[in-house]
Amino acid sequence: MEKVDIIETQWPFMLAMMPADLEETASAKLAIVRRRGVSSAGDLLRLALLYGFCDLSLRQTAARASLLGLGELSDVAVLHRLEKAADWLGGVVVGFLRERGLTHRVPGLSVQVVDATAISRPGSKGTDWRVHVSLDLAEERITGVEVTDVRGGETLDRHEVKPGQVVLADRGYAHREAVAGVLEAGGHVVVRLSRNGFPLENRRGKALDLPGCMEGLQIGEMGDWDVQFEAGGRKYEGRLVALRQSEPAAEHERKRIRRVASHKGRKLEARSLKAAGFLYVFTDLPREVLPTAEALEMYRLRWQIEIVFKRLKSVLDLDGLRAKNPDLARAYLYAKILGALVAQEFCHDTLAFFPWGYALFAEQRQSMAVAADLGGGGEDSDWWNGTSGNPGHGDADAAASPV
């Protein structure tokens, strides 16, 4: 079934999937000021999906809106309505995700999730473009979208950081200078680390042996150590937060490490395979602001957003990306994301994924069990059978090796 046919024939079902407060949020975010032409939030959302998800031109969108009884609109009128609806559409996307398991176990902080996805032209064997996206969860909107060629690497330097804002990123962004830049700007970080790419020290300045530091952790037990790193001749203090992964999750990581080493012709180190048994992040936030378990749960939030981005790749056509008008481009991208999420609605176990292999909180284990009973758990549905242990704390001094 074509995308346009879905919007036309399955609209009552699609609308029922949306957050219940569509009308209230549309009025609050000024997406609908005058109800002339488009009289409801549902009609405005349908208009946006026709334009973005279905890749219709403004003129085609106006014509289709007339056929569907949404109103008699010119292409210019469609343009103005979509421009005003961009922020509201971002809130609809976040509301849709929250109703389907987007974690709420994070402090009341301004969190900016950054990620990038590689796009290839039809028939291409490699990466042709990268789409760099930042999402502000507090404001419920995409705050930055940048399309670069293959040379545009993943770095925190691409994203503007406000004082007090927490930047949440994967290990591809774990570069000391860039992380230091976020801290110098008054921001904070929660970033996953790899073993060799981000050397840490204990607070006495001795190099930290990551596998040795974490090897005493049991399944479900969390560790939390005071550490520091050096960048530009300056020391930056923070915490190393880690937990042991389930064996299936650890084996998945070991396979990834072997594949990367083989692809790049590198010698595989035994310590890298040992470190694969753990998931660990660095944050500069103090424990009273971001407790141990919440730091790991915040990283899971980043994983949930990445899953959304990976789904987006299957429907994103860069040749049709509306990028000349910033507000229109954001409305287009939001509609793309929302359409992709709706198309995958029956994969309702996706946001219940835990990158380390099991849930940390009781209600999460219960919800995953329900998903498994419904037949949605898949081969990874038994990864959560761990128990949550008490976090270990310390300055990592005992695990430090001589400089």
The candidate with the shortest Cα–Cα distance to 91, out of 167, 3, 31, is: 31
pLDDT digits (tens, 9 = 90+) for 295-320: 988 888 777 667 666 665 555 554 44
123: left (phi over 0), alpha (psi -120 to 50) or beta: left
If you search the block for the tokens 């007090």, which residue do you land on? 164
DSSP SS3 for 114: strand
Per-residue CA distances from 82 to 45, 200, 360 (Å): 9, 47, 41
pLDDT reported for residue 399? 46
What is the rounded CA–CA span in Å between residue 53 and residue 92? Answer: 14
> Which residues, 6 or more positions from 366, have their beta carbon under 8 angstroms from its beta carbon?
none
Inter-residue contact 191 to 170 (CB < 8 Å): yes
What tens-digit pLDDT sequence spans the chain (403 residues)?
578 888 888 888 888 889 888 888 888 877 665 656 678 899 999 999 999 888 899 999 999 999 998 888 999 999 989 988 988 888 888 788 777 665 555 556 788 888 777 766 556 666 666 777 777 766 656 666 666 666 767 788 777 788 998 998 888 889 999 999 999 999 999 999 987 789 999 999 999 988 888 988 988 889 999 999 999 999 999 999 999 988 888 898 889 888 888 888 888 788 788 888 898 999 999 999 999 998 988 888 777 667 666 665 555 554 445 556 778 877 887 888 788 777 766 444 445 556 666 666 665 554 444 334 333 333 332 322 233 334 455 656 544 333 2
Per-residue CA distances from 59 to 34, 51, 67, 72 (Å): 21, 10, 13, 12
Inter-residue contact 275 to 210 (CB < 8 Å): yes
What is the rounded CA–CA span in Å between residue 49 and residue 220? Answer: 42
- Checking DSSP bridges between strand 141-149 and strand 166-169, what pairing results, if any? unpaired
What is the rounded CA–CA span in Å between residue 299 and residue 106? Answer: 10
Inter-residue contact 349 to 316 (CB < 8 Å): no
Inter-residue contact 153 to 177 (CB < 8 Å): no
Inter-residue contact 357 to 245 (CB < 8 Å): yes
DSSP SS3 for 306: helix
pLDDT digits (tens, 9 = 90+) for 121-157: 556 666 666 777 777 766 656 666 666 666 767 788 7
pTM above 0.85, yes or no: no
What is the rounded CA–CA span in Å between residue 159 and residue 66? Answer: 40
What is the rounded CA–CA span in Å between residue 96 and residue 100? Answer: 7
What is the rounded CA–CA span in Å between residue 190 and residue 282? Answer: 6
Structure tokens at 111: 């969190």
The candidate with the shortest Cα–Cα distance to 358, out of 234, 222, 265, is: 222
pLDDT digits (tens, 9 = 90+) for 33-82: 565 667 889 999 999 999 988 889 999 999 999 999 888 899 999 998 99
> Which residues, 6 or more positions from 346, have their beta carbon under 8 angstroms from its beta carbon?
none
179-191 in b/e form (b: 16+ CB < 10 A) is bbbbbeeebbbbb
pLDDT reported for residue 315? 53
| Domain chopping of the chain, boundaries | 3-99, 111-308+389-399
DSSP string, 132-196: EEEEETTTTEEEEEEEEETT----GGGS---TTPEEEE-GGG--HHHHHHHHHTT-EEEEE--TT
DSSP SS3 for 251: helix
